[in-house]
Amino acid sequence: MPGTDDFGVYLVTDTALAERHGHGVLGVVQAAVGAGVRIVQVRDKTASARDLLALTAAVADAVGDRALVVVDDRLDVALAARHAGHRVAGVHLGQSDVPASAARALLGPDAHVGVTANTTRHLVEVAMSPTGSVDLLGVGVVHPTSTKPDHPPALGVAGFGRLAATTTVPCVGIGGVTLDDVGPLRRAGAAGVAVVSGICAAPDPGAAAAAFVAAWDGAAR
């Protein structure tokens, strides 16, 4: 995947939140990518594999080459979408999902493999993985968030920075990230900021995404 440590604003979709103002996931994604979002994670914990595949395919077709599209958790869905010819970059894996090394072997060297990492132990495990297994770490939660009710204790910006400093893998801050967090997270070493409700639940998701992108671009390391 792109040799970059700047992933910018990373949209994580939430189907229920996207319907709050009638935009739907596709509407939110199209507005956000149009505003400069660089990576979209298709996440729907309650969808069947078939429905998640259809949603992922629709998102990928709508986005084209303007942003990376990855699937949350479901390696099988990512593989099926790629097999069907949709422009899906890869997968983002949680700690209970298949190992990153297995995902890399199945997806190939040019795919994107992200992993959630919340503790020092998780980072040690990533460091022990074969070189090149992981492209990005989702580190959090930064703040308590209702979009992940079973989240671990919040790290805060300082805690995020301490974890990010212990790994060479680019780290994206996730979990309750607000506009006010963007600059501090970038200065703490973030390679990007992942946003769910701040964009998905916004009355104008394009304007919300543009504000996050502007905050990211305006924040000096």
Establish whether the linkage from the previous residue to 37 is cis, with ω within 30° of 0. no
Has residue 51 got a pLDDT over 60?
A: yes
176 in a known ligand binding site: yes
pTM: 0.95
135 in a known ligand binding site: no
pLDDT recorded at residue 4: 56
- The verdict on residue 72 lying in a domain is yes
148 in a known ligand binding site: yes
- The verdict on residue 1 lying in a domain is no
Burial 35-73 (b: 16+ CB within 10 A, else e): bbbbbbbbbbeebeeeebbebbbbbbebbeeebbbbbbb
- The verdict on residue 21 lying in a domain is yes
Has residue 208 got a pLDDT over 50?
A: yes
- The verdict on residue 2 lying in a domain is no
168 in a known ligand binding site: no
- The verdict on residue 56 lying in a domain is yes
110 in a known ligand binding site: no
Q: What does the block give as tokens for 47?
A: 């969808």
- Integer distance in angstroms from the first to the last C-alpha of the chain? 23
96 in a known ligand binding site: no
Which position has the higher pLDDT, 145 or 89?
89
Task: Identify the domain containing residue 41 by its residue range.
Answer: 8-218
Residue 189 belongs to domain with CATH number: 3.20.20.70
183 in a known ligand binding site: no
116 in a known ligand binding site: yes
pLDDT recorded at residue 5: 79
147 in a known ligand binding site: yes
Average pLDDT for 15-40:
98
Q: What would the pLDDT profile of 4-21 be if each residue is shown by its tens digit? A: 579 999 999 999 999 999
- The verdict on residue 151 lying in a domain is yes
Mean of all residue pLDDT scores within the chain: 94
12 in a known ligand binding site: no
196 in a known ligand binding site: yes
Q: What would the pLDDT profile of 37-47 be if each residue is shown by its tens digit? A: 999 999 999 99
3 in a known ligand binding site: no
Q: Do 218 and 183 meet the contact criterion of CB atoms below 8 Å apart?
A: yes
**d(C-alpha 119, C-alpha 130), whole Å:** 19
Q: Name the phi and psi angles at 13, rounded to 5.
A: -80, 150
* Candidate from 105-114, 138-147, 192-201 with smallest mean pLDDT: 138-147
56 in a known ligand binding site: no
pLDDT recorded at residue 146: 75
- The verdict on residue 75 lying in a domain is yes
- The verdict on residue 139 lying in a domain is yes
pLDDT recorded at residue 1: 40
Q: What would the pLDDT profile of 107-133 be if each residue is shown by its tens digit? A: 999 999 999 999 999 999 999 999 999
Has residue 85 got a pLDDT over 60?
A: yes
Distances (CA, A) of 152 to 34, 85, 117: 33, 37, 11
Who contacts 185 (Cβ-Cβ below 8 Å, separation ≥6)? Answer: 142, 157, 160, 173, 177, 193
What one-character DSSP code corresponds to residue 97? S
* Structural domain count, the chain: 1
Which position has the higher pLDDT, 145 or 134?
134
72 in a known ligand binding site: yes
Helix (H/G/I), strand (E/B), else coil: 10: strand
